[in-house]
Copies of this chain bind each other. A is one copy, B any other.
Amino acid sequence: MKLIKSISWMQRLSLKAKRAGKKIGLVPTMGYLHQGHLELVKKAGRLSDLVVVSIFVNPTQFGPKEDFNRYPRDLTGDLAKLKGLGVDYVFTPSAKEMYPDGYQTYVEVENLSKGLCGDFRPGHFRGVATVVCKLFNIVQPEFAIFGEKDYQQLKVIERMARDLNLGIKVLGMDTVREKDGLAMSSRNSYLSKEARVQAIFLSRALKEAKKLVEQGEKSAEALIGKVREIISGNTNGRIEYIEVRDALDLALVEKVDKPCQILVAVWIGRTRLIDNIRVQPKNSKRG
């Protein structure tokens, strides 16, 4: 496992591997790795000949008042966790090299970046699409894997790769959860003890909504009401959104008559948590 800091060196190594007919799998991360990341890495290993994990806390996807500076970082710990997982290269460029003086090019996925997190984090998905486009061009993988916890992000990146003809498969993978259901996230490290207890009600509420759908409930309004009731009743969190969307194109839905995603964002104390769950009517053929 080699640590690569230089963009041009990474690009050269990738080109060489491609020319040798090797299939490259990329796992883009912002580091402070948890089990969710490691599952992505293992899957990449199963599907490719050469695994690249990028670790880059991307400044352009944080708003001016967001947590870029306090975002947790631990490269030594990350490298220890990756050991033995068959990673070939850990790519850790500097912000200065990724965004040199005069940098001015941005990629925008217009519709999918609107609504949900896009409404509360202006510019966030522009930063995500831009950095992922850059990482794709640098590493030139055959596929890249992302966790479904960041569902809207996954949809934005899928669309970007398709629209810009990047020729790269974008794969999603089930959210990995703590035993009590909390979706794993580097930001969970922000949670106080009290907040950590409250945080489990995001996934609990989503599971309850899923049960309702399995019992025949189709009304988005009713599902949202149930999720809100559980989160409001058990936490002092501030709800940003609770929404039901088409699982494929994130269109707003009123009725769950096809595969849908219920998505939530809640501030528990100073920590913003997101989660989502797939729901589909009993006889759905899609999904």
Contact = CB atoms under 8 A, between A and B. Distances in A.
A103 B232 CA distance: 38
Given A105-B164, A134-B163, 20 more contacts: A15-B167, A18-B18, A19-B19, A102-B159, A103-B163, A104-B110, A104-B159, A104-B163, A105-B129, A105-B159, A105-B163, A106-B108, A106-B110, A107-B108, A107-B164, A108-B108, A133-B164, A137-B165, A137-B167, A138-B165
A11 interface: yes
Contact of A105 (B7, B21, B102, B108): B108
Contacts of A21: 19
Contact of A134 (B19, B109, B159, B165): B165
Interface string A132-170: 011001100000000000000000000110011111000
Contacts of A138: 165
Interface residues of A, number: 31
18 contacts: A11-B165, A18-B19, A19-B19, A102-B159, A104-B109, A104-B110, A104-B111, A104-B159, A105-B109, A105-B163, A105-B164, A106-B107, A106-B108, A107-B107, A108-B108, A134-B164, A137-B164, A137-B165
A75 to B, nearest CB: 22
Interface of A: 7, 11, 15, 18-19, 21, 102-112, 129-130, 133-134, 137-138, 159-160, 163-167, 249
A133 B133 CA distance: 11
A95 to B, nearest CB: 14
A122 B265 CA distance: 36
| A-B residue pairs, 6 tightest by C-beta | A105-B163, A104-B110, A137-B165, A104-B111, A105-B109, A138-B165
Contacts of A105: 107-110, 129, 159-160, 163-164
Contacts of A137: 164-167
Contact of A104 (B19, B112, B165): B112
A104 to B, nearest CB: 4
A166 B108 CA distance: 17
A167 B18 CA distance: 14
Contacts of A108: 105-108
A19 B140 CA distance: 14
Identify the interface centre among A7, A138, A167: most chain B CB within 10 Å of its CB. A167
A104 B104 CA distance: 20
